Structure 1
């Protein structure tokens, strides 16, 4: 008998216990291994994130250094005139005492070019012979009216012109920039003088006046309208008309009335002067002028002026003839004006009539004396003789006006430290004083001599002021150049001379030492400033200099501590054994930098960049013949030819600057065929991108949604936007379809806001959180009995590049929105050229070669020009800031202008990481991958820094050149802006956000 257990059962139970024990230990071992693997993965992931962040911090320091350098140079170079705070008064009986008008109406018709108001026989231009009243009155009522050519001082921008028209001074190149924040003008002017003499100044129109003169304007009769929406042709003008005539006819509570119309200027910006809307605007202004003339009484002076003109594209800001020639018209119902034939009168060929010209600042003493107030203290203008030689004036009146204006200029000069010791000018005024004293003793024989001496004195004084007032701060200029040069040296040493294997460890040392030294130099510079109190160095700039010195020392110290200068020089010599492509890249950088040594080269930079790119394309074509397989030779030659042809085609799109005439024909503009091509681009561009993706089987995952759906529909809707704009602005279609303007405007606003919201908000959020461009394909899933499944990952070989490129697609669609049709077509070609370059870089093995970065940045410059831009103020498309909003709205207005002007640079800067990421599989060395991308990013920074340094040096060298403000200064400003944009786009968005997201995400999925 047994108790239920036998030997076999006992043995079996022991074996089962042993098996269960082995299974448990295996499970524990597997869990332990999994835990160790997970901890190792987490450690690598944290290390990857940490090293990527340290890379980004060092690049941030280099960016800050460059920005500080640009700020120092800008403050030293962009001229700032010292404004004397003195206020003119009549305490010493220095004011003109002759008769003046009780009331004055000043109408400013913005951008009223002189040929808009004179007859032009048999002209095909729609803007000619539409505003006829001014000329007719000057011919038929010569004693009651006066028509003069009104010459503006460049730059011809509204705010600067208003400053000159009210103070009599000559604002410097960026003098107006200090007032864009809406600060009240702090210089003596006739608006404030009217206010201080108890004259009520009524105002309606452009709100620039209230930004500058609001405390001096009679608030009960002030009706400002927002001025910068250049797409709105009617709101401001209709508002002026609505309030102008009730003020004139019904109100007695004003002495001086200002009305500022903007429709002509906005029409020029939006459509150009040849558009039918310009004719309508000029006709409207003609009707308004006639109505005003009918409304004023005999004791009211009417003054009509243009603040500047416009060029043939409708823009202004420069110094071409069409931009500086504006209009001055005066009218009174009582005979008040004479005629004065002067040497500066010249013949208009098509009429045979003499039109005398005067400077715009000459209006200031004239308007002051005609209204019975002191001439503003800083005035440099001279009286307009016709205003003081009419039937109601005696010969002594002109002499008195000339003397009082000269006396005011003398007072200004004697209070200026830089002007008071000019013996020649002072002696000339002593002669004027002697002649005036003799006339005061009733000796009228010297009246003519006095007038001649006064005119001579006023002209010489103006020229001397122009020569002496503009003081460059050479210390600031040299500091700025030195900082930029130091940043270039650091960038080259950091990216090219120091071995890449030590960069990750070096980054941390550079960052920590920089922070420490920045703190030290901040204290030092603050102490030096408080003790020495240097006149030309503010505390803010002293602290900025301390930061720059700290970054320079902090980044160089770890390098010099690890490597000697001799070693670095030897390393540099070793690098001289470069290949052909690197030498070509250096040659292109050198040539591009050298074009800033001549104004003739700068104005043809668009053609030069095109030539450089064609040179690369030809070299790539010849290089393709040396590849080892026929297939590679065929594919590479195809891409090279494609690059050459696309470069040549897009170079046809041109916007000529004034200096290129007559050797350049502008082809950029809005046209129906360009809009139709944009609709075709909505199909062909996504299809082209799909073709490039299919080379590596990467058109998977998120790619179809982004490219085939998102980009295609976005471009199509953008084409629809410009089609509606064309309908709105085409006279025939507008009248035929008869679609109400508010409906068209509402549809266009909806389209632009929808596209921007999708491309810049929804698409980028989706990109950050969305899937990769890969797909898992199970090869033998249907027959499960044939063994283990075979899995193929489609898109594996281009997993980095295909996913990163979707970010480029997002920004491309947003930038396409803000570019006019031809500019949008240029952007489409740019995307194709970037993809072609990526393929060439892969086939020719020049991914991290300098030439690839050089060609990329040359593409950005080429397409800057082919999207309708030049390095000039008047080439900025301000109207694109109002595609999403009717009024200035931060940041929508600013984004529109930035994306339109700098769109090609943004796309190219974001594309730099693709040179490394394109067509490579996941790597188990992500730090090395980030290092290669950083090398390309710093190479791009070095190239742009070379260009910036060259423009700074050449602009400083040619600071007294005749073309410095027309050519050199705008070009240096563009390079300064691009340097800042590069640091924000490449190092901020591209390297830190986008690259970090892609590498970490792929490392989490495929990392080992």
Structure 2
């Protein structure tokens, strides 16, 4: 590769400036220029921040209206209520004590035999099925159906209150508050029963005031399979021999954590199930006849070991009740307990059915908000079951009568009256069947009612977000960038002033009118949003007419590349109009990128010079090949079924390839730097640093692989390693890499030298001739070093297969930057659009899908063993949104790459802001359409499975891109670099 040398004017003067450069000093002659540049930086930062605030408020309103909440009544049941006093409820009481064992994520097929399976999750937790088969009058095993979302906190709410949590509750899974509504744990406390707990600390968070004894353990460290389980076993078994409790609760997490970390098909799952089987056997040995044992899973897990959605494997948990008292339970016909096909047709009950069942068996009133039905098998005979249904129907109707939205349902009320009048005369079978019809219809009506959306908030959210898109289009695409920089001096003060004024006005009106449908806090936020909108449009419409803006927009979309960019945006947005297209978003984005690569290939053949034609064809072909190869890496979602074969994993050969990646990727970066003769000064230093970080990351994931598979690795040296030593080394490496890449390296970059070198030669006349190597890529070569810093951190928190995919992303990004120069499209709409497509596409092959279960929560414990803000949150953010962060960081490279120092730094800065604003516009349009189609399909069968997760994902991406552009790109990165280079080259 040939070396490019340049000889700019006044090379000796440039040399002196290079040698004496200091960031903290200012050249007197450039003081005015630097002041204007800094002012532009401040104005752009405030402008981007204002747009971000407007979008955050819009997303807040939409989320408030879309994510549902249910009506919770404050009433509490009591044994003195008419429903339970003198009703015969006492005769249903069958137990004085109870032991609850929650095996988190105990999927139903984990506890039924499958002689044809050799899976680690089959045929090891055998005790429940064996005892049920041997003692049908003392043991009941059922399929336990959870209601989505299948997250632990929401399941505990349903399991103790008997009501239905809604989708919005999933967001509070990591921040549980004490449950105020009536629940059977609170009923135990109110009726003088002693409840002792050990295990998942979620119980302490939501039931703390009602627990007489509590030993909570940290619940979210999914790397830890044993601490919670060992603690439960250690403390619960001795307590069984004491008399200081009426209800004993143990919540074990090992099975769930094993699923999150390894998936169900791993030898560690066998070990955990064997441990659970032995633990349950030890409990049974210590039980007496007056104690009821209840063992259940709060949810299941999918084939990857995750949960949170509503797939069959996530919803089907197991419920086992056991008593040593003879004839405690009854069995239905044998056909109800068919275990063929992994229990496909096995009898199932809802999780909310446990509430009335346990309450009546334990002599407690049914919690007021309960909507469940008694479990038939739990009562010794049909007469008892009839009485249990009779008490339950009165409780459900009492709840409905106290609810303003439920009490006027004529059909339900008529069925209730019929049940009450026929109780004495009806046979148990007839009455129980009529109750089932009533309870099923009542539950369906409640679900339908709680699926009512707040259309006012949804409309406000969509409207505000739509206006934010208009602002982005007008400012960054219709108004010339240089004019926009000048106009920002009017816009920013107007936004600040109008936001303050509008907030005061809206808040004052709210205090006077006191509207019941919206709180004052939301009114104030609406005032801020309106102020930002008015503050922007007043200066714009003062200078430009709406007709001029419309005419300019028509001119902007002319030209082949601009039309192609518009087409790509339209296709990406249109896929959200169909659930079938939405689930295959990864494939569609891959096709769009391949289409660009093919068109770039054809256009490269028309380049003026032979070198550009050859290099254009090379980069275009590489662009298509990389897209195709990386598309082979996939994490499948349940809806894709057999049409998707998951290839994302951590086999040994992928971990080994990380070392190859550490050798090759820095060399590729070096090759791209050599194209512009920029591999000087800081570039070799940073590339060596990058290679060292990659080797350390490879070592980290190698240790992680050893820790995962130590018992099956046959290398003697590895078999003799202490797990504690591997664990310590892993954490040490991760902390070193994270500290260097996120803190030290970025500080060094802000103070480091440029990627240029000055060659001084003596010619024949004894005079000196100076050549600056890297002069024509002085901005791009330096800025890419900042990208390398964050790239290293993101690769640390990305699983090995995803790191190999990021390897392809870096190659593709650098090749695309070369194509923008060859095809002369660096200032065209198509360039930010393709960058946006790259961010969206690489989200998928790096190990993600737009679903809750695909979030890699375990990455949060790469640096710490417990939840510590922000050390737990940063790894999850970088892992989940790494591709979008890299694309947002790289946006200035569209302007910086392969250009010499500019004599108009403010204009250069304006072009960078324009490209960043265009990327934000593209993502905003994608987010807006996801909001719109989620609203359109809010009654769709797949709304909570496909459309709602997609809009939530789009909203999070919107927030991340805004934060990265504001905090890193506009201020710290591009602005500081332009100032530094302007100081040196004038």
Q: Tell me the TM-score range normalised by the shorter chain.
A: over 0.9
Match in the other structure for 1:42: 31
Task: Specify which of 703, 708, 726 is matched with residue 744 of structure 1.
Answer: 726
Match in the other structure for 1:30: none
> CA shift at 1:501, angstroms?
3.0
> CA shift at 1:351, angstroms?
7.6
Take 1:837 and 1:907, find their aligned partners in 2: how far apart are those partners? 14
Match in the other structure for 1:662: 642
Match in the other structure for 1:651: 631
Count residues with an aligned counterpart: 953
Is the counterpart of residue 495 in structure 1 residue 488 in structure 2?
A: no
Match in the other structure for 1:34: none
The aligned runs of 1:331-342 (5 Å cut-off) are: 331-341=322-332
Match in the other structure for 1:414: 401
Match in the other structure for 2:754: 772
> CA shift at 1:177, angstroms?
2.8
> CA shift at 1:309, angstroms?
0.6
Task: Specify which of 202, 206, 213 is matched with residue 207 of structure 2.
Answer: 213
Q: Is the 8 A contact 1:435 1:446 kept in 2?
A: no
Take 2:187 and 2:296, find their aligned partners in 1: how far apart are those partners? 20
SS in 2 for 1:105: strand
Is the counterpart of residue 537 in structure 1 residue 531 in structure 2?
A: no
Could you tell which deviates more after superposition, 822-831 or 874-883?
Answer: 822-831
SS in 2 for 1:175: helix
Take 1:353 and 1:325, find their aligned partners in 2: how far apart are those partners? 10
Report Cα offsets for 1:885-926 as digits up to 9, x if no partner. Answer: 111111110011111111111111100110000111111100
The aligned runs of 1:587-602 (5 Å cut-off) are: 587-602=567-582
Match in the other structure for 1:61: 50
Take 1:346 and 1:130, find their aligned partners in 2: how far apart are those partners? 20
Q: Is the 8 A contact 2:332 2:377 kept in 1?
A: no
Match in the other structure for 2:360: 369
Task: Specify which of 50, 57, 67 is matched with residue 78 of structure 1.
Answer: 67
Report Cα offsets for 1:44-95 as digits up to 9, x if no partner. Answer: 1111111221122112111111111111100110001121111011213423
Q: Is the 8 A contact 2:809 2:842 kept in 1?
A: yes
Take 2:786 and 2:388, find their aligned partners in 1: how far apart are those partners? 67
SS in 1 for 2:620: helix
Task: Specify which of 665, 676, 695 is matched with residue 656 of structure 2.
Answer: 676
Q: Is the 8 A contact 1:337 1:386 kept in 2?
A: no
TM-score normalised by the chain length of structure 1: 0.93
Match in the other structure for 2:251: 260
Match in the other structure for 2:495: 514
Report Cα offsets for 1:531-577 as digits up to 9, x if no partner. Answer: 1211221111111101111111111111101011122222223224x
Take 2:152 and 2:344, find their aligned partners in 1: how far apart are those partners? 29
SS in 1 for 2:120: coil
SS in 1 for 2:510: helix
> CA shift at 1:448, angstroms?
2.9
The aligned runs of 1:867-878 (5 Å cut-off) are: 867-878=846-857
Match in the other structure for 2:119: 125
Task: Specify which of 421, 424, 443 is matched with residue 434 of structure 1.
Answer: 421
Take 1:935 and 1:532, find their aligned partners in 2: how far apart are those partners? 42
The aligned runs of 1:115-264 (5 Å cut-off) are: 115-178=109-172, 180-218=174-212, 221-249=213-241, 251-264=242-255
Task: Specify which of 388, 393, 411 is matched with residue 424 of structure 1.
Answer: 411
Report Cα offsets for 1:219-275 as digits up to 9, x if no partner. Answer: xx31100000000000000000110111111x2110000000000000000000111
Take 1:299 and 1:462, find their aligned partners in 2: how far apart are those partners? 33
> CA shift at 1:740, angstroms?
1.7
Take 2:492 and 2:36, find their aligned partners in 1: how far apart are those partners? 17
Take 1:608 and 1:235, find their aligned partners in 2: how far apart are those partners? 44
SS in 2 for 1:779: strand
How large is the Cα RMSD of the aligned pairs?
1.5
Distance 1:424 1:342, change over 3 A: farther
Is the counterpart of residue 298 in structure 1 residue 289 in structure 2?
A: yes
Distance 1:38 1:108, change over 3 A: closer
SS in 1 for 2:374: coil
Match in the other structure for 1:381: 372
Larger Rg: 1
Match in the other structure for 1:1003: 982
Could you tell which deviates more after superposition, 331-340 or 273-282?
Answer: 331-340
Could you tell which deviates more after superposition, 238-247 or 90-99?
Answer: 90-99
Take 2:800 and 2:655, find their aligned partners in 1: how far apart are those partners? 6
Take 2:344 and 2:885, find their aligned partners in 1: how far apart are those partners? 52
Q: Is the 8 A contact 2:661 2:807 kept in 1?
A: yes
SS in 2 for 1:662: helix
Distance 1:659 1:798, change over 3 A: same
Distance 1:883 1:373, change over 3 A: same
The aligned runs of 1:723-742 (5 Å cut-off) are: 723-730=702-709, 731-733=711-713, 736=716, 737-742=719-724
Match in the other structure for 2:100: 106
Task: Specify which of 338, 343, 347 is matched with residue 356 of structure 1.
Answer: 347
Distance 1:278 1:258, change over 3 A: same
Could you tell which deviates more after superposition, 632-641 or 734-743?
Answer: 734-743
Task: Specify which of 451, 463, 466 is matched with residue 482 of structure 1.
Answer: 463
Take 1:137 and 1:353, find their aligned partners in 2: how far apart are those partners? 21
Report Cα offsets for 1:499-523 as digits up to 9, x if no partner. Answer: 2332122101111111111111111
Take 1:154 and 1:514, find their aligned partners in 2: how far apart are those partners? 43
Larger relative contact order (C-alpha < 8 A, sep ≥ 6)?
A: 2
Take 1:198 and 1:779, find their aligned partners in 2: how far apart are those partners? 94
Could you tell which deviates more after superposition, 166-175 or 352-361?
Answer: 352-361
Take 1:450 and 1:867, find their aligned partners in 2: how far apart are those partners? 56
Task: Specify which of 25, 38, 41 is matched with residue 52 of structure 1.
Answer: 41
Report Cα offsets for 1:403-436 as digits up to 9, x if no partner. Answer: 1111110010000011000010001110111123
Q: Is the 8 A contact 1:202 1:256 kept in 2?
A: yes
Report Cα offsets for 1:606-664 as digits up to 9, x if no partner. Answer: 00010000000000000011011211100110011111111111111000100111111
Match in the other structure for 1:16: none
Structure 2 gap ranges (5+): 1-25
Task: Specify which of 832, 837, 848 is matched with residue 827 of structure 2.
Answer: 848
Take 1:297 and 1:537, find their aligned partners in 2: how far apart are those partners? 55
Q: Is the 8 A contact 1:74 1:477 kept in 2?
A: yes
Q: Is the 8 A contact 1:846 1:852 kept in 2?
A: yes
Structure 1 gap ranges (5+): 1-36
> CA shift at 1:290, angstroms?
0.4
Distance 1:990 1:453, change over 3 A: same
Distance 1:525 1:350, change over 3 A: closer
Q: Is the 8 A contact 1:344 1:357 kept in 2?
A: no
Match in the other structure for 1:6: none
Distance 1:93 1:335, change over 3 A: farther
Could you tell which deviates more after superposition, 959-968 or 856-865?
Answer: 856-865
Is the counterpart of residue 607 in structure 1 residue 594 in structure 2?
A: no
Distance 1:324 1:911, change over 3 A: same
Distance 1:714 1:115, change over 3 A: same
Take 1:48 and 1:61, find their aligned partners in 2: how far apart are those partners? 20
Q: Is the 8 A contact 1:146 1:337 kept in 2?
A: no
TM-score normalised by the chain length of structure 2: 0.95
